[in-house]
Amino acid sequence: MSLQYIIDGYNIINHPKFFRANKFITDPSRALLSFIKSNRLTGSSKNIVIIVFDGFPPQSYEASNFFETAIIFSRKINADEKIKRMVEESANRKNIIVVSDDKEIKFMIRSLGAQHLSIEDFIGRDEGPAEAKGKKKSKELSKQELNYTQMRDIDEELKKIWLK
């Protein structure tokens, strides 16, 4: 069964990593959706992504349907409350991952049996997803086994350096 990501939209938009990359964007909600999809932050394309924003949609906002994604505005309640209600009303809470830095949400979500991710863990710590993939690839390459001739050559070089 696919996972459902419920994301606190303004938490990510105001995060330094997202802001630096998208500071000149006029529609942050669409930029966020594009950022999530292009960096594959939710893994499989079959996973459902719901981004929750505080308040009402801007007047010029046009809802569009991306596959398995939705942008929701909390309207008269705040986004945190909307997220809590969505998890409470869900029949399959164990497949929900809430992405938010709000501590109250973190504890509430866990008590309901859903999963929680901080913004930092969701976006990636020191590098973006592309850099992380590159590092993973280089680690795989460095784990290659050496043949006997290569090991002997390395030993000889080290002997020259260390055993002068």
Nearest to 122 by CA among 46, 39, 56, 29: 39
pTM beyond cutoff 0.85: no
In the chain, what are the domain boundaries? 4-125, 129-164
Give CA angle at 35 (7, 68), nearest 5°: 60
In Å, how far from its chain's centre is CA 4?
Answer: 13
Mean pLDDT for the stretch of residues 66-83: 85
Going 102 to 18 to 126 to 40, the CA torsion angle's sign is positive
Residue 124 — pLDDT band, cuts 50, 70, 90? confident
- Are 122 and 115 in contact by the 8 Å Cβ rule? The answer is no
Class of domain 4-125: alpha beta
Q: 74-88, 111-125, 143-157: which has the minimum mean pLDDT?
A: 143-157
- Are 87 and 98 in contact by the 8 Å Cβ rule? The answer is yes
Nearest to 54 by CA among 71, 37, 38, 34: 71
Task: Tell me what pLDDT residue 46 has.
Answer: 85
Return the CA Rg of the chain: 22
Q: In the predicted model, is pLDDT for residue 33 greater than 60?
A: yes
